[in-house]
C-alpha cells in the first residue's frame, strides 16, 4: 500500500531507495504507525518488503520465485518494466543469490525469451521459451495458447507436496520423484527445458532447506506458503549465498535420482521406461549455456 501523507504532524522516516530502482512502489510502504509520546510526532515505520499479493492491473509470471519478489517489493509490485539489473539486484537482495548465479539466470532467461527492451512478468509465460510443460505446480499450456497459466494450480500444489516421503520435508529425492511423475504426463521435454526444470527446484532446495537440522529438505509448510501464496516464509532471511556450483550439484542429484526412479519404473507408465529422463548428454546444453553467458558478460564488461 503506497502512503500519500500530507498532514504536517507526520514525520516520515524515509528509507533509502534501492540504487538504480526508482519504482514508486519501492519508496513508501508503511506497515505500522508508532506514536512517539515525547515529541508528539507520529513516526511511520516503513517495511519496504511487506507481503502484498497481486492487485488488479498487476501482472505475474509462472515463476514462484519472481512473483514472490514482486509480492514483497523486491521487484516492482506491478511486475512491469523489468530489465536485467532490476531482476539481478532483486535476486541478490531477496534470496541471497550470488552475482554469478543471478547474472546467468537473468541473462540466460532474457536470451531465451528473445524479447528486446524491458519486459513484464507475464511475458515470461510465453510457451516454450523459458516456460515449459510438466511444471510441478502449474498446468501445461492449453493447445493453441501462446502463454501458459501464471497462477499455481492448487491440486498440483497438493499433489506435489504429497510427494514428501516423510510428510514434513521435501528432499532432493522427493523432488526427483515428482519431476518423473510430471514429465510422464506430457510429451518428452527437450534437454534444455528438462535442465531448467531441475535447476528451478535445485535453487529452491538450496534456499529453503534446513541446514542445521538432521532432517534434510524444505519444510513442507514453508514450501506450501512459497508456492501457493507466493510469499516468503515468515521470518525467513537468506542464510547463505546461493551459488552456481551448489545449484549444479543439487541439479545433478535430482537428475541421478530421476534416473533411479525411471529405471525402477516408478511414477511412469511401463511403455515410457528408459525414455523419459533426458540422458546425460543433456548436460552439454547446460555447460554450453553457461559458457555462452560468461562470454556475453565478459564482452559486455570489456567493450
Ligand atoms: C531464486 C531464483 C529462482 C528460483 C528459486 C526459481 C524457481 C522456480 C520454480 C520452482 C519454478 C517451477 C514452478 C513449477 O514447476 O510449477 C520456476 C518456474 C519458472 N521460472 Fe523461476 N526461479 C528463479 C529465477 C528465475 C528467473 C531469473 C527467471 C527468468 C528471468 C525465471 C523464470 C521462470 C519461468 C519462466 C518459469 C516457468 C517454467 C515452467 O514452465 O515451469 N525464474 N522457477
* 110 Cα nearest atom in ligand 1: 30
* Distance between CA atoms of residues 77 and 80, nearest Å: 8
**108 Cα nearest atom in ligand 1:** 30
Q: 21: CA distance to ligand 1 center in Å?
A: 22
Query: Given this model, what pLDDT does residue 15 score?
Result: 35
Residues 180-197 pLDDT 10s? 999 999 999 999 999 999
Looking at residue 33, its pLDDT comes to 44
Pocket test for ligand 1, best of 60, 63, 156 (most atoms within 8 A of CB): 63
Tens digits of per-residue pLDDT, 74-110?
999 999 999 999 999 999 999 999 999 999 999 999 9
Q: Cell 529453503 belongs to which residue?
A: 208
Q: What is the whole-number distance in angstroms between the Cα of residue 105 and the centre of ligand 1?
A: 9
Q: What is the pLDDT of residue 210?
A: 86
What's the pTM? 0.82
- Ligand 1 pocket test, pick from 60, 61, 66, 125 with the greatest ligand atom count within 8 Å of Cβ, gives 66
Atom of ligand 1 nearest to the CA of 137: 16
Q: CA 250, CA 259: separation in Å to the nearest integer?
A: 14
Ligand 1 atom 16: residue of nearest CA: 137
**Residue nearest to ligand 1 atom 9, measured at CA:** 200
Atom of ligand 1 nearest to the CA of 130: 35
**pLDDT given for residue 265 in this prediction:** 77
Give the Å distance between the CA of 130 and the centre of ligand 1. Answer: 8
Phi, psi of 107 (to 5 degrees): -65, -45
Question: Which residues of the chain fall below pLDDT 70?
Answer: 1-46, 212-214, 266-289, 294, 296-303
Using CB distances shorter than 6 Å, the residues near ligand 1 are 61-66, 87, 91, 95, 97, 105-106, 109, 124, 130-132, 135-138, 148, 200-201, 203-204
Give, for ligand 1, the residue of 91, 200, 225 to mutate: max count of ligand atoms closer than 8 Å to Cβ. 200
> Whose CA is closest to atom 8 on ligand 1?
200
CA of 62 to the centre of ligand 1 (A): 7
For residue 255, the Cα-to-chain-centroid distance in whole angstroms is 19
- What is residue 8's predicted lDDT score, i.e. its pLDDT? 35
Distance 288 CA to ligand 1 centre (A): 20
Amino acid at each position: 500500500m503506497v502512503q500519500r501523507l500530507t498532514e504536517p504532524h507526520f514525520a516520515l522516516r524515509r528509507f533509502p531507495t534501492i540504487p538504480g530502482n526508482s519504482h514508486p512502489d519501492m519508496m513508501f510502504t508503511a506497515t505500522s504507525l508508532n506514536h512517539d509520546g515525547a515529541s508528539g510526532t507520529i513516526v511511520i515505520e516503513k517495511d519496504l518488503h511487506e507481503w502484498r499479493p497481486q492487485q488488479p492491473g498487476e501482472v505475474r509470471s509462472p515463476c514462484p520465485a519472481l512473483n514472490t519478489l514482486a509480492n514483497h517489493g523486491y521487484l516492482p509490485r506491478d511486475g512491469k518494466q523489468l530489465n536485467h539489473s532490476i531482476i539481478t539486484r532483486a535476486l541478490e537482495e531477496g534470496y541471497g543469490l550470488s552475482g554469478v548465479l543471478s547474472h546467468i539466470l537473468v541473462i540466460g532467461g532474457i536470451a531465451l525469451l528473445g524479447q528486446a527492451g524491458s519486459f513484464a512478468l507475464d511475458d515470461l509465460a510465453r510457451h516454450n521459451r523459458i516456460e515449459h510443460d510438466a511444471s510441478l505446480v502449474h498446468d501445461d499450456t492449453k493447445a493453441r495458447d501462446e502463454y501458459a497459466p501464471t497462477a499455481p494450480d492448487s491440486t498440483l500444489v497438493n499433489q506435489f507436496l504429497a510427494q514428501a516421503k516423510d510428510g514434513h520435508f521435501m528432499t532432493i529425492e522427493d523432488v526427483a520423484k515428482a519431476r518423473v511423475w510430471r514429465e510422464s504426463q506430457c510429451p518428452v521435454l527437450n534437454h534444455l527445458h528438462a535442465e531448467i526444470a531441475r535447476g528451478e527446484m535445485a535453487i529452491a532446495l538450496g534456499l529453503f532447506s534446513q541446514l542445521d537440522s538432521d532432517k534434510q529438505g524444505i519444510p513442507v509448510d514453508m514450501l506450501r506458503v512459497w508456492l501457493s501464496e507466493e510469499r516468503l516464509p515468515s521470518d525467513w532471511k537468506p542464510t547463505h549465498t546461493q551459488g552456481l556450483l551448489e545449484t549444479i550439484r543439487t541439479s545433478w542429484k535430482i537428475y541421478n535420482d530421476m534416473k533411479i526412479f525411471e529405471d525402477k519404473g516408478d511414477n511412469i507408465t511401463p511403455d515410457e521406461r528408459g525414455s523419459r529422463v533426458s540422458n546425460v548428454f543433456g548436460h552439454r546444453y547446460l555447460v554450453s549455456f553457461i559458457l555462452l553467458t560468461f562470454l556475453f558478460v565478459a564482452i559486455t564488461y570489456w567493450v
